[in-house]
A and B are shown apart, each in its own frame.
Chain A
Amino acid sequence: MKKRLYLELENCIGCRSCLAACTQCGGHEERNRNYVYDVNPLVNRQTMPLMCLHCENPACARSCPAQAIQIHETGAVLSALVEKCIGCQNCTIACPYGIPKFDQEQNLMYKCDLCIDRTKDGIPPMCASVCPSNTLQWLTDEEIENKKKQFNLDNGKWVTSMPYLEGETNVKVNLPGILQGITKLF
């Protein structure tokens, strides 16, 4: 059954375990490929991960003059093929979320490939495997549908989608505020 990366931003505790784990998948040359931001560090401890959303029509791949960024049959937008990447950095500019990173020394881009060695066989990516707060989860579409029902805010904002994003994405994101829609037990 197809599973997707699902983000619940409300849960993030800023531990950056996802970044530590990103280096450990065995195929990432021990470099982490995503980001965790302190939202407003002088005010509070809110943090949020910024992961590649694996767009259905990815700007990074569209902007690549060398067609180095391939889309896997699972929908994962892969890191640039080393033999094709010309180091132009178009992708780092094109991505509306600033995801692709650039290795100055090797003159190569690199980005999240959703741990394709794992996810192609249905094993969760490292970040979602270790995330202690369940900010990052690896769920079936049915489970995501249930989340949508559980966190119904009646305003359609429960999850990132048009017009908040540039386009449809394989990764689903639940914005902060989910708890507002919950009925308390007592």
Chain B
Amino acid sequence: MQRDKFFKEIENLNHPNEKLIKTHCSYCGMQCGMNLRVNTQTNKIIGVEPRYDWPVTVGKMCPKGVTAYQQTNHKDRLLKPLIRDDASLKGTTKGFREASWDEAYDLIAKKFKELQTEYGKDSLSVFSGVSMTNEKCYLTGKFARVALATRYIDYNGRFCMSSAAGGFLRSFGVDRGSTLPWTDIHETDCLFIAGSNTAECHPTSMFRIWNVQERGGYIIVVDPRETPIARRADLHLDLQPGTDLALANGIVNQLIKMGYIDEEFINKHTNGFEETKELVKDFTPEYTSMLTGVAPEKIIRAAEIYGKAPNAVVMFARGVEQQHKGVDNVSAYTNMALVTGKIGRPKAGVATFTGQGNGQGGREHGQKSDLLPGYRKITNPKHVEEVCSVWGITPEEMPQPGVSAYEMIELMEKKTIRGLYLLCSNPAVSAPNLNFVRKAFKTLDFMVCSDFYLSESAEFADVVLPAVTWSEDEGTVTNIEGRIIKINKAQEPVGESKPDWQIQVELAERLGKGKYFSYLKTARDVADEFRLATKGGYADYYGATWDKIDKQDGVFWPCKNENDEGTPHMFLDKKFYHPDGKAKICALPYRPPAEEPCEKYPLRLTTGRVVYHYLSGNQTRRIPFLHDMCPEPFVEIHPETASKYNMEHEERVRLFTRRGEAIYKVKITEAIRKDTVFVPYHFGHEDSINLLTIAALDPISRMPEFKACAAQLEKVELKKVQ
């Protein structure tokens, strides 16, 4: 299925005394296919072999993928539960002692019960993540609502994908990250890529992206930095961080003025065109240029290329989504596809580069404060009833909607939330405004953290539970395309580590909720209940059985029954998911970033990733090759700006905002705007750039504005650094 010109029949090299386990990478949404090499005598993972027969990535892997296997038998793995009795040591690695699972479970059950007896059900919270299987994500939602009976559950997608979700829901009435399979990308005629450092964050997309140019097509890149993809793009729109909405409005205005719109498509299949046309008409190239810093002729040229292209794909990522108007940015760029009708057919559409491995599936099935499995709403009584019938509880027992990730942390600081069960996430590095966040974690009466390494967030926990890595469990993940794929188990769990679904079943039993969980004995048991729970929701996975996933090289949702092969292309019938079947073209007034530069803080700070690290770096900083390639953070500065501050390449300088400060090594490059500085966010403790970032939240997605705030630089005297 979906085998294209890049696919070649290649046999793998089989070393003696080894077997290959087909699976996918543990990291980003690309979910590159890989084979793990397992020694058949020790039954341990010892290496990696390309998976040439995976149709999306045909054996290709980035350096994180190549070395991902080194996580499993790493010396830093947590082998036993850890308990810390002295709460004054919170925020450090000190004071932990090894304990048995029984002791850890007993302590957690006792503390959770005490807190809920004294302060009510909602005094507990669950903070989870989407770098884990659909089965785990699903069960985490059920665990919070049924075993803990708390309304407070949310997840790290709020720092990642939630603006894309909000934008797609508003524009299309459905949130599937890509309207088309990745095997279409190289066949389109124009890629418009905004706020995505694709070459570093989704490297295995690059062979398809470059192929567009090799065929004579165009690449347009929107980024404040001249990233590797921007360097080769036909057009680089070098905007100021946080001004995407103005740029998108400006381009839509040009598309209308230059006559590239598809009136028949607009009339038949969309609402909102006239209001939008009215609103964007103020966004002339000159006015848009004034707001964004992009030259007017580049804006006109971008509209001309995108407008002329027979087929085009609008793509974006965290650069546009991690803003306090991230949802508006997503809908505004999506407008480009809707006014030109370049959607609902092969080789044309809209896609977001999903950040986390299961960023797509993990947000659909009930880890979000207001969602239930199958993308159902917890505020919709019918949806609640459907899920209750699978869970065996009454609708009255279903908790109310909670609040978003960062807002949960605010409630911890206010002592409304007193207990936390954290899994699959490292918010002590990845959340914004970290001085506040770390203080909030210290304020908690009781915190449990489940992870396979002692993360910076685990340092705030009272109990740390050793979880397994992705290679020691099985289940499904939904990749960047919306394709449900299968992760396979390659070795037995290291030490006493356990998969999170098993931890939740056993913990639920201790909490007296065994009857809702005890029958889930294997990952497949969870998978079967999960598929049933999604049945009838619009993210319907019911027909995506593990056998079908294996046979078809993955299944695109929705997949409603046994005979349904899934939905690689969305909207081929031009039917969108709003009740009237139409998409919404959104009229979106521009607003600047929450914090604009001023005399005291004249620079724009933006953050992002490097190719060698993943998210908070808790995994990748421990891998020798990746550590060697990028051992520490840096601040990227244009030479003219550096000269103004009298700073040299590799000099250590102080970067600060209204919220925090850090010392970074200067990296001088002309490949960034003069008014902007960039720092990667993968580093912990005093190196975290999120000590400086702002927690201005998007009104819909509750996404913090990681991508733009006001900052200042200062030279430091040598003695201060030492």
Contact = CB atoms under 8 A, between A and B. Distances in A.
A133 B61 contact: no
Interface stretch (B5-13, B321-329, B548-556): B5-13
B60 A118 contact: no
A24 B47 contact: yes
B216 A24 contact: no
B67 A20 contact: yes
A179 B199 CA distance: 18
Given A14-B228, A15-B200, A123-B10, A132 B669 contact: no
A133 B203 contact: yes
A134 interface: yes
Interface stretch (B124-132, B207-215, B467-475, B657-665): B207-215
Contacts of B213: 179, 182
A43 B308 CA distance: 33
B206 interface: yes
B625 A185 contact: no
A184 B234 CA distance: 11
A184 B216 contact: yes
A45 B310 CA distance: 31
Q: Identify the interface centre among A117, A124, A133: most chain B CB within 10 Å of its CB.
A: A133
A12 B87 CA distance: 50
A20 B625 contact: yes
A27 B227 CA distance: 35
A47 interface: yes
Contacts of B205: 132
Nearest to B212: A185
Interface in A124-183: 124, 126, 129-134, 150, 178-179, 182-183
Contacts of A126: 50
Contacts of A131: 60, 207
B671 A45 contact: yes
B63 A15 contact: yes
A68 interface: no
Interface string B57-87: 0011111011100000000000000000000
Given A26-B13, A26-B15, A123-B12, A185 B210 contact: no
A17 B66 contact: yes
A126 B231 CA distance: 27
Given A42-B639, A42-B669, A133-B199, A17 B63 contact: yes
A124 B213 CA distance: 25
Nearest to A117: B13
A13 interface: yes
Given A45-B227, A185-B189, A24 B671 contact: no
A130 B66 contact: yes
B669 A44 contact: yes
B670 interface: yes
B557 interface: no
A133 B199 CA distance: 8
A2 to B, nearest CB: 15
B66 A13 contact: no
B169 interface: no
Nearest to B623: A20
Contact of B229 (A13, A117, A134): A13
B232 A10 contact: yes
Interface string B141-174: 0000000000000000000000000000000000
B668 A42 contact: yes
Contacts of A66: none
B226 interface: yes
Contacts of A150: 214
A37 B116 CA distance: 58
B478 interface: no
A121 interface: yes
B99 interface: no
Tell me what chain A mostly uses at the interface: helix, strand, loop, or mixed. loop
B295 interface: no
Chain B: interface size category: 35 or more
A123 B11 contact: yes
Contacts of A23: 625
B611 A43 contact: no
B51 to A, nearest CB: 10
B66 A133 contact: no
Contacts of B649: 42
A186 B670 contact: no
A81 interface: no
Contact of A134 (B207, B226, B228): B207
B572 interface: no
Nearest to B308: A186
Interface string B246-277: 00000000000000000000000000000000
A13 B59 contact: no
Nearest to A185: B216
Interface in B192-246: 199-200, 203-207, 210-211, 213-218, 226-229, 231-232
Contact of A129 (B59, B203, B310, B670): B59
Contacts of A184: 216-218
B629 interface: yes
A86 interface: no
B341 to A, nearest CB: 17
A20 B13 contact: no
Contacts of B229: 13
A132 B218 contact: no
B48 interface: yes
B6 to A, nearest CB: 8
A30 to B, nearest CB: 9
Given A17-B61, A17-B203, A130 B50 contact: yes
A45 B366 CA distance: 41
Contacts of A130: 50, 59-62, 65-66
B553 to A, nearest CB: 19
A98 to B, nearest CB: 20
Contact of B216 (A17, A44, A182): A182
A124 to B, nearest CB: 7
A67 to B, nearest CB: 29
Given A150-B214, A179-B213, A186 B309 contact: yes
A43 B228 CA distance: 12
Contacts of B66: 17, 20-21, 24, 130
A70 interface: no
Contacts of B189: 185-186
A11 interface: yes
Nearest to A11: B210
A134 B210 contact: yes
B52 interface: yes
Nearest to B189: A185
Q: Identify the interface centre among B210, B231, B309, B649: most chain A CB within 10 Å of its CB.
A: B210
Nearest to B639: A42
Contacts of B207: 11, 131-134
Nearest to B202: A132
Nearest to A129: B50
B611 A129 contact: no
Nearest to B649: A42
Nearest to B216: A185
Q: Identify the interface centre among A20, A42, A132: most chain B CB within 10 Å of its CB.
A: A132
Contact of A45 (B204, B217, B228): B228
A186 to B, nearest CB: 5
B406 to A, nearest CB: 32
Interface of B: 10-13, 15, 47-48, 50, 52, 59-63, 65-67, 189, 199-200, 203-207, 210-211, 213-218, 226-229, 231-232, 308-310, 611-612, 625, 629, 639, 649, 668-671
The 10 closest A-B pairs by CB, nearest first: A13-B199, A132-B203, A20-B63, A185-B216, A20-B66, A134-B207, A133-B206, A129-B50, A13-B228, A132-B204
14 contacts: A10-B232, A11-B206, A15-B199, A26-B15, A42-B639, A44-B671, A45-B226, A47-B228, A124-B59, A129-B52, A130-B60, A131-B60, A182-B214, A185-B215
Given A11-B210, A16-B63, A123-B11, 11 more contacts: A13-B203, A24-B47, A26-B15, A44-B231, A45-B227, A45-B228, A117-B13, A129-B50, A129-B60, A132-B60, A184-B218
